[in-house]
Structure 1
């Protein structure tokens, strides 16, 4: 599962929009095979070459790194709900992936500054069964934890699909991968996390609904704890107990207490949770107890991390901060990773929820995120002894950077993902480029689609690719897609009508599609496609046979690529797309 090296240059929606019981019922897994989605025999297959993604956000241009600093977020784009653990000098970090396949990206670092993606935790169909799930179902809030008592790494999460629900997988060595198949856990709710006490005893904590008949208001949730049988990898029946009801102060009707973690320090047990929903009111709060099973007392000053109280007109705002996890360094310092968003000039959230990091002061009774209640800055001081190498080798880049993938047959970079099924079922990479074998479903389907995605990681970016493609019928289309979900996206591709070839730009909003622009091509074959964004303004351009780029459709709004318009939990993605079930009709 080692990450393949690539070239780098330079440097509320809220949970209540999902009824969990409905999701479990509606996202049932059907065992469709690759053949179910395969296109017709002999359907044309586009060849993609020379993909280039460049981010040029002004915040990085105006805030070059000072000596001894590094940028936060450390993972730009849709890498939400981070969780972190450490064994010795090795840190491992995971994030939510929903119906992205493979699932749960995993990163490794020795210093909290320089991160390498080492693969994905869920990289097999036996682990990830999301074939018919909506884009914001699938894998929620993974928690990674190293258990020193048995030298084992655990990843526990909720799979909102296929009837699996809460589950755990294990490995002895994340660098080698080989995570187990899922073990289904016998409890409901979401956001499970593990805790292993000094005596080796295990516990599971998670978000759940109040006891039947005791829900006081919409968004009223509780945190439960279970004893965990480490030998059987299962919660112990009858040990469940509510340890937080509603949140810090139930008289204030707090919503969506979730993402719990327990830490032991000073001989006491600290429970840290998100509160307020993963939107504008998001925050992080903390409680303390003499036992992992409670009772828990909230800190006198909560929250310990939030941006919700700050002036909304402040420059370069970071919002929605919360859903955090803590890690202690070998030297005894503490850091916290958490999600937040960076809205564009129209307060839209196209890059999705990203992974940020801050030092945590735990010299007193309570952990305090340093600067976590103040406007978050684009960079922070590096841990002692660290050296920033994020623009070298195969470290994951942040700030402004360029990513180039020539598709030369060296294996797919780990940041390329599919939706709902394996990339290998539609991708063929050779020394001269990447072939996508089109499925007989299009990008609007809640099924595996033949599209390879790269996350949008900047508000200001360009993404281009060279394509060689000759459609045979009106059902054939290939090109670029900018996608927030199956019902909110742009398609910019080449198709056929009668004997003529066309390049079309289609906008889909709430599942309703309209052709914004089209142009007849003199012939099919080699074409370069590009999408550029300046905040909310997107442009789609093309060049034929190495000529100058020409615009198609003028400037269009990125509104439908924003979480606050499209809903759900994912960020925008740029896709290399092919289908033999095209439904875009030429006027």
Structure 2
């Protein structure tokens, strides 16, 4: 073996010894990459403590935290549901159930960069409002959506596209880009094998009548070529149920067929406190569509904001025939805290639907919603057990030693695998030189905030080498609205810092500022435990160096910047295990 090869082999051996556990060390053995060995998330919401489940009940929402814009389909006894993911990666979480109560997450539909590239976009861009439909004519599942981001395979903005699979448990195809504008597409397959795409779009040029005026369009769809048929598009809803009332943001359309009639169901009123669900009827999938006389069929907009167990913003729904022969609808809603702030984001709810008459109506969808529901006949509540997704109050623990990372852990703007590694000692994060405030992929592993009252605790081994290094926790709503709670270095001291970043002003005049609101020097001879606790709008950040006695770093801070209706956008708050070598949070 020549001397060059010997030197290369020696260098490799040194590098391997330095990067054991995924962490890189300096000459003194200091960890430049943090290792997180334990995580515990505990939810403790008052609504669940005051409303314990009785026999034959389950909790609503069925997916707590930021799981908005649900769409659902069925093949036999199998139900599949997808939700929006925006700039989170992987994209489009997909869930499976046999009874509409107990759900398991299968993974994500868009789990490769060849399907989705959201590299340099704001968190509320990316993937919007997926639709999922099973086509029994060719035994194929279709997921159709809009992505306001580029693609490594399809240059430029990806826009509307579809992916396919014969089995949602086995992964999905690369995208088929669709040649139309607008958002919120869904596919309808008729009994005769013909297919149609409906979506939200702008009115024809020069015909916009007011702000928020949108239309619903339909296209014929070529199943063989996986493309809309040019020239077949037409507007089937202009503005909404009653154009004279200037309805805003007709969107999220779905077509259903029942008793030889075609039904078009859409959201109307925007995604905020005037949100609702409306329905139309026709003799043809391409219309004309006539609105039901009793619209809306679902809304929570007419009730006092201070009502107990407030659920609001209900809409953006999809229907499916349940295991008991009855229809059910999944939809988004929010549960604001006592300050009317939406930190948990838009969640997925379900209600039975009465379709015994001409038009479907959500049962109890026009009265204040309750936190519990009766289960379909013959179903047993197994949520939180046997691998089923939890709801209500629950504790989730993670030591990162299993072979597969739980699907609840997500990245932002890029794959998790580019910065994490797991082993017997836990999770190591290889820091990117970007920080949490930049519109780039960050080396942060996120978990959604799923309760108003929660604690999130982790144990971390880490020794930063300079002020450019930081690792710890982040509570994150978007790149301009977040808290950073982590360990960095100042001179020869290790420092624990808490920074608040907020954005103020309107769109064109918005200004983002960051301020360290608390800091302390710490002794890092051993690991450090970091904790964030929330009770409604109050968040407390604390730490322990002895494994037992937690000390608060500063006073309680407001969760205002973690709220959708303060920070803007479409996502809920997330808690992240965070590391960067491009730190700007300085004590």
Query: How would you bin the TM-score normalised by the shorter chain?
Result: over 0.9
1:223-234 to structure 2, matched below 5 A, reads 223-234=216-227
Give the match's secondary structure for 1:242. strand
Q: CA deviation at 1:316?
A: 1.2
Alpha-carbon separation, structure 1, partners of 2:437 and 2:559: 18
2:112 paired residue among 112, 124, 129: 124
Q: CA deviation at 1:314?
A: 1.4
Match of 1:576 in 2: 577
Is 1:221 the counterpart of 2:214? The answer is: yes
Report the aligned-residue RMSD. 1.3
Alpha-carbon separation, structure 1, partners of 2:444 and 2:373: 37
Match of 2:44 in 1: 56
Residue 470 of structure 1 contacts residue 525 of structure 1 at CA under 8 Å; is this kept in 2?
no
TM (norm. structure 2) is 0.92
Match of 1:250 in 2: 243
1:170 paired residue among 164, 176, 182: 164
Alpha-carbon separation, structure 2, partners of 1:555 and 1:282: 33
Residue 342 of structure 2 contacts residue 564 of structure 2 at CA under 8 Å; is this kept in 1?
yes
Residue 498 of structure 2 contacts residue 519 of structure 2 at CA under 8 Å; is this kept in 1?
yes
1:453 paired residue among 446, 449, 454: 446
1:269-418 to structure 2, matched below 5 A, reads 269-418=262-411
2:122 paired residue among 123, 130, 134: 134
Alpha-carbon separation, structure 1, partners of 2:66 and 2:315: 15
Match of 2:174 in 1: 181
Match of 2:561 in 1: 560
TM (norm. structure 1) is 0.92
Q: For 1:519-577, what per-residue CA distance to the aligned partner results, in whole angstroms no more than 9, with x for missing partners?
A: 00123541000000000000000000314000001100000000011000000000000
Question: Which segments of 5 or more consecutive residues in structure 2 lack a partner in the other structure?
Answer: 1-21, 151-156, 504-511
1:89-128 to structure 2, matched below 5 A, reads 89-128=77-116
Larger Rg, first or second structure (1 or 2): 2
Match of 1:23 in 2: none
Residue 461 of structure 2 contacts residue 528 of structure 2 at CA under 8 Å; is this kept in 1?
yes
Alpha-carbon separation, structure 2, partners of 1:140 and 1:83: 12
Give the match's secondary structure for 1:80. coil
Residue 496 of structure 1 contacts residue 502 of structure 1 at CA under 8 Å; is this kept in 2?
yes
Residue 39 of structure 1 contacts residue 440 of structure 1 at CA under 8 Å; is this kept in 2?
no
1:147 paired residue among 135, 151, 169: 135
Question: Which segments of 5 or more consecutive residues in structure 1 lack a partner in the other structure?
Answer: 1-37
Q: CA deviation at 1:331?
A: 4.4
Q: CA deviation at 1:311?
A: 2.1
Match of 1:83 in 2: 71
Alpha-carbon separation, structure 1, partners of 2:411 and 2:225: 33
Q: Structure 1 residue runs of 4+, over 4 Å off?
A: 38-43
Is 1:68 the counterpart of 2:56? The answer is: yes
Give the match's secondary structure for 2:494. strand
1:449-488 to structure 2, matched below 5 A, reads 449-488=442-481
Residue 189 of structure 1 contacts residue 208 of structure 1 at CA under 8 Å; is this kept in 2?
yes
Give the match's secondary structure for 1:161. strand
Residue 23 of structure 2 contacts residue 428 of structure 2 at CA under 8 Å; is this kept in 1?
no
Alpha-carbon separation, structure 2, partners of 1:421 and 1:440: 14
Alpha-carbon separation, structure 2, partners of 1:441 and 1:246: 43
1:542-557 to structure 2, matched below 5 A, reads 542-557=543-558
Q: CA deviation at 1:40?
A: 10
Residue 492 of structure 1 contacts residue 503 of structure 1 at CA under 8 Å; is this kept in 2?
yes
